[in-house]
Amino acid sequence: MAGERRAAPGRGRGRAGPRGPERHDHAGRQTDLRPGGAVGLRHRGDDQTGPVDGRPAVAVADPTLTRVVQSWQPRFLANGIDPNDYQRTVSGLAAWEEWYAAWMRLGGEHERLAQDASRDGREITAGEAYYRAALAYHFAVFSWVHNLAEYDAGHRKRVDCYRNALPFLDPPGERVEFPLETIRIPAYLRKPRGLARPPVVLFLSGLDSAKEEHATFEAFFLRRGLATLTLDGPGQ
């Protein structure tokens, strides 16, 4: 929409301190958001989630949850999850079993923001919010293979939101298909503006990643005059 400033997905306000980037949560508390930095988790039966000695405390009640929160944080932030969204989503968790519902709620928040913006004609805002919703839905299910019904529900929401974001991205994306044996594989093409036939960079996801994670690296190539083609292989 003309006159609306474009902002990179996930960009927020913060300041650089002597220990690295810092932000403030909704209660005004300072949070360390460096990759691998401590993230607050809720103990089972504990309603206190505040920081200890100025830094969020990491719970040890659920070792699986503690491990994934600390090890996945750099990946999530690098691929477009807003640091504040990450902090508030994981800080309320007490067990790994709560992971799916928490990230689905975050996806729903951004999807509703996207729908409101789309109705109001705010296309840039709609595109960014749909992308953030797709990314949240993706991270809800990317390792949630033990419950296929929930995985399928999150996967469908992820695909729908990503497709809704495509026309509003800068540059926009389009869905294409190509044959593979007896099936057709959908892919998503984005071309730099003003170039009819640019070279194309093909993005192939790993085992648990998907096209929604490629936006950061797509932007790197698009700014340099290269088109991008992203796809999910069979089973991804």
User: Residue 234: which domain range?
Assistant: 170-236
Give every CB contact of residue 127 below 8 A, 6+ residues apart in sequence. 114, 165, 167, 168, 169, 170
64 occurs within a structural domain = no
213 occurs within a structural domain = yes
120 occurs within a structural domain = no
25 occurs within a structural domain = no
206 occurs within a structural domain = yes
Note down pLDDT in tens along the chain; length 236 residues. 444 444 444 444 443 333 334 444 433 333 343 434 445 555 444 444 444 444 444 444 689 999 999 899 999 999 999 999 999 999 989 999 999 999 999 999 999 999 999 999 999 999 999 999 999 999 999 999 899 999 999 999 999 999 999 999 999 999 999 888 888 888 999 999 999 899 999 998 877 788 899 988 999 999 999 999 998 876 55
Rounded CA-CA distance 39/70 in Å is 7
* Host H or E run for residue 51: strand 51-52
Other beta carbons within 10 angstroms of residue 53's beta carbon come to 5
Rounded CA-CA distance 191/174 in Å is 9
Rounded CA-CA distance 50/57 in Å is 8
Q: Which residue has the tokens 């807003």?
A: 82
41 occurs within a structural domain = no
113 occurs within a structural domain = no
What is the tally of structural domains in the chain?
Answer: 1
202 occurs within a structural domain = yes
pLDDT of residue 236: 55
